[in-house]
């Protein structure tokens, strides 16, 4: 009898883990509905499994089912009040809900968002994601409801102690929003110097575009391309050249390189490269080539208004 019970216990344990591993695979493959279904079925007979509850919350969150995600994370943070990550996820889901409702309704949620993040930060002095969330929260909120660049910088400083790259990026973000472009550029460049990741380069590129500095954006993208050899950066260079009517030969060359080496992992469909090439040829007053490329773009993006508007502009040359 004891042997039977032991075999039953081990079998149940293996089944439980297999079900959760399956849900993790679905999440990794972005099959969020399947992950939701897997965990809902599993939780019917394993209601207290905290890992399964969290996986279900994650599945809901990826589908922007904020109320459902909030309910799962709330269960966890109430049952395990000392777990920083549960408070962080609860606050994150609440924050995303706040962004999806009216401003008046959002105001009733913000206090709970802040409370959850602050609790997570208190519980785990090394929780990087929570500190990023607090930086973004204090920067984005108006002062009347608790926004504060000084508080944002406080958590950026905490980030810097945990990870110099995160700290520099956070400071760049704060100073950019505080309309201090020289300091923002300084810290974005420091992040590249220390970390040099694709994300670091992207932050500086986006900053330059926001500051209407396309030449600097192109130079930064070229440096990133040389370091990381990412085909996607060919598209980004071409995009900036097309948007700003600048360095058109370079833009054309990069877009054609992007198309020649294109694969699904590049992220941006070929049709957008066609669209950018059409823009470049329009800037060159080459109507024939511009129409050729815009027609290729429309074939793949027939419902995108900006593409149709571009064709009208080209036809008017």
Q: Each residue of 116-129: pLDDT tens digit?
A: 999 999 999 999 99
Q: Are 130 and 88 in contact (CB under 8 A)?
A: yes
Q: What per-residue confidence (pLDDT) applies to 12?
A: 45
Tokens coding 97: 């809900």
Q: What per-residue confidence (pLDDT) applies to 145?
A: 53
pLDDT score of 13 more than 80: no
**Which residue from 113, 148, 103, 112 is spatially nearest to 133, judged by alpha carbons?**
113
Q: What per-residue confidence (pLDDT) applies to 240?
A: 97
Q: What per-residue confidence (pLDDT) applies to 45?
A: 86
Tokens coding 273: 């490269």
Residues 295-313: what's their mean pLDDT?
94
Q: What per-residue confidence (pLDDT) applies to 7?
A: 44
Q: Are 301 and 285 in contact (CB under 8 A)?
A: no
Q: Identify the band that residue 133 occupies on the pLDDT scale cut at 50, 70 and 90.
A: very high
Q: Hey, where are the domains in the chain?
A: 34-124
By mean pLDDT, which of 22-36, 118-132, 152-166 is the weakest? 22-36
Tokens coding 86: 């549960």
Indicate the helix (H) or strand (E) that contains 122. Answer: helix 103-123
Torsion of CA 256, 260, 266, 270, to 10 degrees: 60
Q: Quickly tell me which residue has 């990023």 as its tokens.
A: 132
Q: Are 236 and 267 in contact (CB under 8 A)?
A: no
Question: At the topology level of CATH, where does 34-124 sit?
Answer: 1.25.40
Q: What per-residue confidence (pLDDT) applies to 19?
A: 83
Q: Is 241 helix (H, G, I), strand (E, B) or coil?
A: helix
Q: Identify the band that residue 230 occupies on the pLDDT scale cut at 50, 70 and 90.
A: very high
Backbone φ and ψ of 245, nearest 5°: 55, 55
pLDDT score of 89 more than 70: yes
Q: Identify the band that residue 146 occupies on the pLDDT scale cut at 50, 70 and 90.
A: low
Q: Are 55 and 36 in contact (CB under 8 A)?
A: no
Tokens coding 176: 């950019």
* pLDDT tens by residue, 243-270: 999 999 999 999 999 999 999 899 999 9
By mean pLDDT, which of 65-79, 90-104, 161-175 is the weakest? 90-104
Indicate the helix (H) or strand (E) that contains 47. Answer: none
Q: Over pLDDT 90: what percentage of the chain?
A: 81
Residues 6+ apart with CB under 8 A from 287: 281, 314, 317
């Amino acid at each position: 009898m004891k042997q039977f019970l032991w075999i039953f216990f081990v079998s149940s344990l293996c089944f439980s883990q297999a079900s959760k591993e399956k849900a993790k695979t679905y999440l990794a493959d972005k099959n969020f509905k399947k992950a939701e279904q897997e965990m809902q079925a599993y939780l019917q007979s394993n209601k207290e499994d905290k890992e399964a509850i969290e996986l279900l919350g994650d599945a809901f969150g990826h589908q922007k089912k904020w109320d459902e995600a909030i309910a799962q994370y709330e269960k966890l943070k109430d049952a395990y009040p000392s777990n920083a990550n549960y408070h962080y996820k609860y606050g994150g889901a609440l924050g995303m809900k706040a962004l999806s409702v009216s401003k008046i309704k959002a105001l009733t949620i913000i206090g709970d968002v802040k409370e959850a993040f602050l609790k997570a930060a208190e519980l785990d002095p090394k929780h990087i994601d929570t500190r990023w969330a607090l930086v973004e929260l204090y920067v984005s909120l108006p002062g009347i409801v608790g926004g504060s660049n000084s508080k944002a910088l406080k958590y950026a400083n905490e980030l810097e102690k945990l990870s110099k790259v995160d700290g520099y990026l956070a400071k760049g973000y704060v100073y950019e929003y505080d309309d201090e472009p020289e300091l923002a550029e300084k810290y974005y460049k420091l992040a590249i110097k220390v970390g040099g990741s694709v994300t670091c380069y992207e932050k500086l590129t986006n900053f330059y575009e926001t500051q209407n500095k396309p030449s600097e954006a192109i130079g930064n993208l070229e440096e990133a391309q040389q370091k990381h050899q990412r085909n996607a950066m060919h598209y980004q260079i071409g995009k900036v050249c097309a948007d700003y009517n600048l360095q058109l030969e370079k833009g054309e060359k990069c877009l054609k390189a992007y198309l020649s080496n294109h694969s699904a992992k590049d992220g941006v469909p070929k049709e957008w490269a066609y669209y950018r090439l059409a823009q470049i040829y329009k800037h060159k007053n080459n109507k024939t080539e511009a129409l050729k490329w815009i027609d290729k773009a429309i074939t793949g993006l027939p419902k995108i208004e900006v593409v149709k508007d571009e064709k009208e502009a080209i036809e008017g040359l």
